[in-house]
A and B are shown apart, each in its own frame.
Chain A
Amino acid sequence: MTDRLLEDIRGALRVVIDPELGENIVDLGFVYDIAVEDGAVRITMTATTPGCPATSFLKEGVEAAASTVPGVAAVDVTMTFEPAWTPDLIEPAVRASLGFAAVN
């Protein structure tokens, strides 16, 4: 049941995109962790860089998207820049489609 809920949440988060890269935050590797306990969801995520005006919208978007999933009673999103996001967290197929340089 929990595994299915996790998958549903990950699917719901795919509506949230990074406006610059144009890909959803799950495939970009922004979502570091999703924990579920009795319907309460805690999501730990990041963004490409701190200080960017899009960051707060990303966080609010994740809260909104996760809240739409049946079985989710509460959502808490934690933004972190530890560890810092790097392009090697992107799904390989997406990374290739973005035309990124080889990851060091």
Chain B
Amino acid sequence: MPLQARVRGGVWSRNSRWDDETIMIGGSISRWTMTYFAAALTWLLAALALMVAGIGHPAADLAAPDTLVLVHVVCIGWLSIAMCGALFQFVPVLVAQPLFCERWALPALALVTAGLVSLLAGFMALGARLPSAPWLLPLGAVLLVVGFGLIVVDLGLTAWQRPSGPARFVLVGLASLCATAAFGAVFAFALAGWAGRIGDAVLARGIPLHAIAGLGGWLTLTAMGVSYRLLSMFMLAPDVEDRKSRITLAAGALAVATTVGGGAAAVGFELGLNMVLSIAAVFGLVCAALYGRDLAGIFRARKRRQLELNMRMAMLSFASLAATGLLGIALVATRTLSAHLGAFAFLAAFGWLSGLVLAKLYKIVAFLTWLETYGPVMGRAPTPRVQDLVAESRATKWFAIYYVSVWMGTLALLAAQPGAFRMAAAAMTVGVVGIIHEIIRIRRLEDVALPLRLPAGAVAPHLLFAKT
């Protein structure tokens, strides 16, 4: 093979540091990542509107139709779609290989969106907010399985080309997504009365398994994997030793495997789930502790001492993850976990996962917007820095409002104060709207000084997709 050859806009070369295999240096910009982010943020606003309106209170019965609507808007609409959008850009970076099939990204988003709308309509029909239509839930499940299936195959085949380091987390996360979707599909068919006795038995006892595989396996392990690479890259820190991150992942994978495998066996043999969930919880706590150790190592070894806003805000999400673990321990020790499961899940979903996603969106959007707008004119005209696209001092207050209101909301849930929780949700909405406004300003280059904003040859970016 020649030393260099141009392939798909990237440059391939030999590099002995990477086991002397052919790798791609410099990836391309994912065309639909912004579209995924826009869809995800729209669903986040919808979730916040539901919480402000008091529909689907997190502390209510998890099986209540309104709660199911809220939970799935958050977990599928917001977190999963945002995560998939980020992965379409970053899995190629993690493995230094092009995406298996860029063309699948948009149809997959359409299928997931249609599936989610159908699923939500099915839940609303269950709660008598819409006329009865049992077929909506199975239809939604099928559409979601096909949509996420496309994403899993696309990202999985891409990551599998170099399954090392953070890419391993993504692969385990994708496997967890498959398990989550499988449980969800059985539930949907069972709720429609189409799954027989076995389906009914899984529905009756399998909800914790579905939730842990989704929040813990799919979203948390994937977020951990991506954060390893992003933190090292943006702070100029050496990558975490492969041996360390592998042990962290092993603990997380064991937690998910115990939950899914052991849980399914317990349901099948009509045994109790407590032992299985206790073992999984221990593995989960070990994983979180090891992740904290790995993060501390990255922060200690970083060359860039001054932390940008996205890093400072990511630290608040890491603190929220630690608080989630401590809260879980306290609730188990006081035998109040079932009573406060909503507060626990809320802190995990909004303090840890949503906080991290919002912090990283702020950076990723600026970075991709810079690449799209100024990358093509590099060397031909002076260009601004990525940091010139953002106004951190203005954005800081929106993130502060967001995190403080999430923590207040958690306390309100623990104290069983629905009114206070709705006020906290309203404050969260203010913070999120502010962050979205900042992101739109980034896409419109509104904070770039006029002389540098659009040099000759540069094309202004589209708000919702990448032109290049």
Listed in ascending order, the chain A residues whose CB lies under 8 Å from chain B are 13, 15-17, 19-22, 47-66, 78-82, 84, 87, 98-101, 103
Contacts and interface: CB of A to CB of B under 8 A. Distances in A.
B234 A20 contact: yes
B382 A49 contact: no
A55 B379 contact: no
27 contacts: A15-B380, A16-B378, A19-B383, A20-B385, A21-B385, A47-B25, A49-B233, A50-B15, A50-B18, A51-B27, A51-B93, A51-B95, A51-B96, A52-B93, A53-B26, A53-B29, A54-B375, A56-B26, A56-B28, A57-B378, A60-B376, A64-B378, A78-B3, A79-B11, A79-B26, A80-B15, A82-B15
B25 A78 contact: no
A99 B386 CA distance: 17
A51 B28 contact: no
A82 B17 contact: yes
Interface in B367-386: 367-368, 370-371, 374-376, 378-383, 385-386
Interface of B: 3-4, 9-11, 13, 15-18, 23-29, 89, 92-96, 232-234, 236, 302-306, 367-368, 370-371, 374-376, 378-383, 385-388
Nearest to A66: B379
Given A60-B376, A61-B379, A79-B26, 4 more contacts: A19-B370, A50-B15, A51-B94, A57-B378
**Shortest Cβ-Cβ A-B pairs, 5 listed:** A61-B378, A56-B26, A61-B379, A22-B385, A55-B26
Contacts of B15: 50, 80-82
A78 B5 CA distance: 11
B96 A50 contact: yes
Main secondary structure of the interface of B (DSSP, over half): mixed
A13 B378 CA distance: 10
A78 B25 CA distance: 11
B364 to A, nearest CB: 11
Nearest to B368: A53
B379 A87 contact: no
A27 to B, nearest CB: 14
A11 to B, nearest CB: 13
A57 B379 CA distance: 9
Contacts of B306: 99
Contacts of A62: 379
Contact of B4 (A17, A54, A65, A78): A78
Contacts of A82: 15-17
Contacts of A66: 379
Contacts of B388: 22
A56 B11 contact: yes
Given A99-B306, A100-B303, A101-B303, A53 B371 contact: yes
A47 B11 CA distance: 13
A87 B94 contact: no
Nearest to A51: B96
Given A15-B382, A16-B379, A79-B11, A84 B17 contact: yes
Nearest to A87: B303
B216 to A, nearest CB: 28
B50 to A, nearest CB: 36
A34 to B, nearest CB: 15
Contact of A15 (B10, B13, B236, B379): B379
B23 A50 contact: yes
A57 B26 contact: yes
A13 B94 CA distance: 29
Contacts of A53: 26-29, 89, 93, 368, 371
A41 to B, nearest CB: 13
Contacts of A65: 378-380
Nearest to A79: B25
A56 B236 CA distance: 19
B170 to A, nearest CB: 14
Contacts of A51: 23-27, 92-96
Given A79-B13, A99-B306, A15 B376 contact: no
Contacts of A13: 379
A103 B305 CA distance: 12
A22 B4 CA distance: 28
A20 B370 CA distance: 10
Nearest to B233: A49
Contacts of B305: 99-101
